[in-house]
Amino acid sequence: MEGGGGGEKRTMKMCCICNQRRPALKRPKTLQQICRECFYEVFEEEIHRVIIDNNLFKRGERIAIGASGGKDSTVLAYVMSELNRRHNYGLDLFLLSVDEGITGYRDDSLETVKRNEIQYGLPLKVVSYKDLYGWTMDEIVKMIGLKNNCTFCGVFRRQALDRGAALLKVDKLVTGHNADDIAETVLLNILRGDIARLSRCTSIITGEDGPIPRCKPFKYTYEKEIVMHTSRNWTTFQLNAYIHRMLTVGLLGSS
């Protein structure tokens, strides 16, 4: 048995990228056993590849990062500012948030966005429904009831982001949509038989003929890996709260 001190020396399994540190995780995308440092490195450099291979940005462009305070946009804000610095993209980055005016819903997440503003040194613009449309989502719900207000939310949120982007005079808006979100949208559009949307929804850049082009640097990024990457910047408290929430809804389990 182990611990006896005799017999052959056990060879320690090492990270299959650096071969120097113990592996800390199995990468969902490639199933490689790697250390945390190498994971952050390959995760970020893959997004750099996606940005370069798809010509997402031009030097000197002003780019708004759609920031909801959720994990995807929080990681996106970090990765965008990090890659912009590391690879000298020459981009002017901004955080853009929408405040729908839903009591108790946005408060926490807006706090996260404000923290990102300080952490990454990115200017933040918050556009509120109250300022843009003259009413809050709370007031809408009071008028029409809870029923169907998510339809309003989708349309108004989209418009609010466009208006915010116009106010910031940015050239593009990046969003944190990941590979899982896109797969879900594909399925929905198949079920709805919406052929036009089906062909559009997988593009990495959309709305080039509209007021503001949108791009998705996380198009090929797995949701699970985004969750893993959050540990790079989240405080232990934030991470625990997130893991707890995911365990509660059954999105994270032992695999």
Restricted to residues 155-174, the positions that interact with Zn ion (CB under 5 A) are: none
Query: What are the CA-CA distances from residue 105 to residues 85, 108, 137 (Å)?
Result: 33, 7, 11
Which residue is listed with tokens 């490195």? 41
Q: How near is the Cβ of 218 to Zn ion at its closest, in Å? A: 23
Single residue of 35, 113, 140, 174 touching Zn ion by CB under 5 A: 35
Tokens of 194: 């919406």
> Is 181 labelled as part of a ligand binding site?
yes
Q: How near is the Cβ of 45 to Zn ion at its closest, in Å? A: 13
Q: How near is the Cβ of 2 to Zn ion at its closest, in Å? A: 25
Closer of 37 and 171 to Zn ion (Cβ): 37
Count, residues near Zn ion per rule CB under 5 A: 6
Closer of 17 and 96 to Zn ion (Cβ): 17
Query: What are the CA-CA distances from residue 188 to residues 64, 78, 156, 203 (Å)?
Result: 27, 30, 21, 16
**Which residues, other chains included, contact 41 with Cβ-Cβ below 8 Å and sequence gap of 6+?**
17
Single residue of 27, 38, 160, 242 touching Zn ion by CB under 5 A: 38
From 33-41, 68-76, 98-106, 123-131, give the range in contact with Zn ion by CB under 5 A.
Answer: 33-41
- Report the amino acid identity of residue 169: K
Q: How near is the Cβ of 232 to Zn ion at its closest, in Å? A: 14
**Which residues, other chains included, contact 27 with Cβ-Cβ below 8 Å and sequence gap of 6+?**
33, 34, 39, 42, 225
> Is 176 labelled as part of a ligand binding site?
yes
- Do 62 and 171 touch, CB atoms closer than 8 A? yes
- What does the binding site for Zn ion look like in residue numbers (CB under 5 A)? 15, 17-18, 21, 35, 38
